Structures are given as C-alpha cells and as structure tokens.
Amino acid sequence: MESLLAPDAPAASTAVEPRTPSLADATWDEAAAWSRPWLRVALAALLLAASTGVLLRFGLVRGMPAWAANYGAVRHAHSHLMYFGWGTLAIMALIWGLLPLQTGRPRPRSATWLLALTALLSLLSFPAFWANGYGRTLVLGRELPLGSMAAAVNGLPWFWFAGLYAVNTWRLPSRTLAVQLWDWALALLLLASLGALTLGMQVALDVESAALREASLHLFLDLFATGWFVLAGLGLLWALLGEPQLHSSVRRAPWLPSMALALPLAFTFVLGMSPAVVTPVAFWMAALANLAAAALLALHLRALWGERARLPLLVRVALLFLAVHVAAALVVLVPGVWRVAVGGQLRVFYLHNLLLGFLSTLLMGLALPLLRGRSFAHARSGEERFERWVALLWSVGVALLVLALLGLGLTRWLPVSSGLFLRMAAWSSLLPPLAAALALLAPAPRRNKAPAS
C-alpha cells in the first residue's frame, strides 16, 4: 500500500503518526484548486439547464412561450446540457482532481485541454438542440441534423478521457475502491456512447426502426445515468472518504462491489424502452439484473451511511435519494407496474430522483465548499453557515420537486388533481437554480493558502 504514496507525501513507514494533518490538507487543497475552475463552468451549465427545466415546468402549466415553442426540442436541450455540461464535466473535473491522491501519479497535462473541449462542446449542444431537437434545422440554406451532430461530437472527449485515464492508471500496484469504481464507470460510459452514436447515425442515414431507435436511445440515456453517473459518483465518495496517503478507502471497504455492480447495470437500460418492443423474457432478465444491481448498490449505501458523520449535509441528502432509487428496483417487479410507469410521468420521477436527487445533490455537496475557496478536507469537516443555507435551499427545492413528480406519476390512483402537482413542480423548480446561482455568484469569504504541488 505504501508504494502508492503521493510523491509529495511523507514516507508513512518512517513517521510516528501515519498522517500529518497539514500535509493532508495541502494535498486536498491542490486537488480542490485544480478542480475549482471547471466546477464553476459545470455549475454555470447546471444553472442554464435548470433554468430551462423551470421554463419547461411552467410551460406544462401555462403553455410554452412563442420563443421556445418546440417543447420536445427544448427538453432535449435541457437534458443534454445536464448530461454533458453539468454531470459529466463536474465528474471529470473531480476525478482528475482526486486521481493523483489515489494513484500517486501526476495528472496528465492534457487533462486541462480535455475539460476545456468537454465544456465547449457541451455548451454548443444547447443551441444545437434548441430549435428542432434531433430533427433537421436549416443552416445557411442546408438542412442539417444539428442535434444528432452535437450528440456525436460530444462523445469525442469521452474517448479521450478514457484513453488518458487508462494510461494514467495502467498497471497500478493496487487499485483503490475509488479507482475500481471509476474503471467500471468508464466502461459503461463507453458502452452508453455506442447508443448515442447509433442514434445519431439513424437520424443522419434516415433509418426507420422503432426497436433500434428505442434500444439505442435508452442504451445511451439510461446507461449514462445508471452506469456512468452512479459508479463515478460512488467512486468520488469513496475517494473523498479515504485518506489520500494511506488509501484507507480500500482498507475500510475492500469487499464493496465494483465489477459485480457494473455487470448487471449494463442490462438495465432495457427497462427504459417502450413495452411495445420489449419481449417478456427481455423484461424479466433486465428486471432481475436491476434487482441484483440494487442489492449491490445497497451495500455501498449502507457502508456510506455508516460514514455519514464525515460527509457534508448535501451528500447525506443525496444518499437518501439513492435509497429511493434502490427501492424502485423492487417496485418494478410488481406485475403491471413497469408497463404503466415506463412511458409516463413515473419515468420522469424515476429519472429526476436519480439525476437531480442523487447525482446533482452529490455533486453540489462536493462542489459547494470548493467554490467557496475551501478544500476537499473542508468538505469532510462540515459546512459554514452560507453553505448550510444554500444546501437547505437546494434540498428543499429538490425534495419538493421530486415529490411533485411522484405525485404526477400516481395521480390516477390519488384523489388529487394533476394540476396541483404540476403547479407544485413548477414553483419548487425555482429553488435548485436559485441555489446554484448563489453557489456560483457568492464571493468566496476566504482564500486557501497556496496549494502544494
């Protein structure tokens, strides 16, 4: 284990105390300083995408305004910016920030260029989807499938990321739990990218096949969320909990699954597809794989909950949403539920519980102290008052929004009109972008000491 020590760490074998707090803080500082500018860009993307979500939510109550008339296209602009510009950029920034502490190897210089390209392409995807989504748009007299083109080029940095990461982590003497989870997160990201590529090709080549379209859409959309986002997020949590010099995330939880979790996750995208193109056998295989993945996720959840005293408030809230996600795997097994849920509002609830409730709350929890000019070490030692208020605003908004989406999904069984839940979803949707704006715009109260290199 000691051979993995970061180059700037003291030799643990010669020290009386295995960990020197000031040095550890300096190391966390360097990681935070590296990630911080990219987290700002990611948060700006979140702000734009979440504001578009507010527009959509109020559009569902009062109708869309003339300048955003194509609801489906605006929804694609929202979801793609959330995926590429917020979730993926923030995760990549945090992984590259924390990776040297896990491997003891320096981060590659080109990681900066990679994140710049990821940010640029993801922001460009927003106007590309806005007018016609995956349809064709007239540009300089030619009809171009702008959305499909944007989806395809946004995949390029993922391959670059995977290549750089593979070189940087090649033949490590031992792989920490965080690194193992990131390995498999990347494997599932590459698998999901096949879906995006196939989807783009179908539009570009005018291929008409409902089954192929459903399969590629959900291989991309669903596996990106349940595979890449979930495994990468778990890896970030274990990286944060481990001591950088001693890699104790491995010692603390050597038995927690990574590959065993990734394998069943790879099949769960089938549950997002339309029942019209999914056979009963395919459904049951996917539902059982989903159940197995949920059981393994529950192991992580239990271990992480045991560490909750060392986690920021927002991360604890994120774990509650993850628990709801795990429970949903049982609900899907109830006969008839999947058929009703998959094409309707329950799916919107399911997606936002995972993507907004778990992933975005987790990323906000990790990013918030850093954006305030503090380090990862502070992220583990509790929030200052301003951070607590932002965390509260975010959590209340997200919880009310997700509850309203659940209500919308259940209206046919509830004695409450859908109008009430639609209005609740619209008004509560104002809070997450407000919290994101505060996190982004509030001046940092104090500066960290110069980061150690």
List of residues contacting ligand HEM (CB under 6 A): 50, 53-54, 56-57, 75-76, 78-79, 82-83, 86-87, 221, 348, 351-352, 355-356, 359-360, 429, 432
What distance in Å separates the CA atoms of residue 180 and residue 160, rounded to the nearest whole number?
Answer: 19
Q: What are phi and psi of 208, to 5 degrees?
A: -105, 105
| Pick 221 or 240: Cβ nearer ligand HEM | 221
| Pick 36 or 57: Cβ nearer ligand HEM | 57
Shortest distance, position 133 Cβ to ligand HEM, whole Å: 8
Shortest distance, position 421 Cβ to ligand HEM, whole Å: 12
Determine the length of the chain.
453
Whether the CB-CB separation of 150 and 80 falls below 8 Å is answered with yes
Shortest distance, position 334 Cβ to ligand HEM, whole Å: 23
CA angle 432, 122, 119 (to 5 degrees): 90
Helices of type H across 242-384: 248-252, 259-265, 280-306, 313-331, 337-342, 345-352, 361-371, 376-379
Shortest distance, position 268 Cβ to ligand HEM, whole Å: 15
Could you tell me which residues are beta bridge partners of residue 143?
138
> Exposure of 441 by Cβ count < 10 A (0-12 exposed, 13-18 middle, 19+ buried)?
exposed
Whether the CB-CB separation of 353 and 402 falls below 8 Å is answered with yes
Amino acid (1-letter code) at residue 30 = E
| Pick 40 or 75: Cβ nearer ligand HEM | 75
**Residue number with the shortest CB distance to ligand HEM?**
53
| Pick 112 or 411: Cβ nearer ligand HEM | 411
Shortest distance, position 33 Cβ to ligand HEM, whole Å: 26
Distance of CA 119 to the CA centre of its chain: 15
| Pick 79 or 290: Cβ nearer ligand HEM | 79
| Pick 83 or 126: Cβ nearer ligand HEM | 83
Shortest distance, position 73 Cβ to ligand HEM, whole Å: 10
| Pick 177 or 278: Cβ nearer ligand HEM | 278
Shortest distance, position 164 Cβ to ligand HEM, whole Å: 23
3-state class (DSSP) for residue 245: coil
3-state class (DSSP) for residue 174: coil
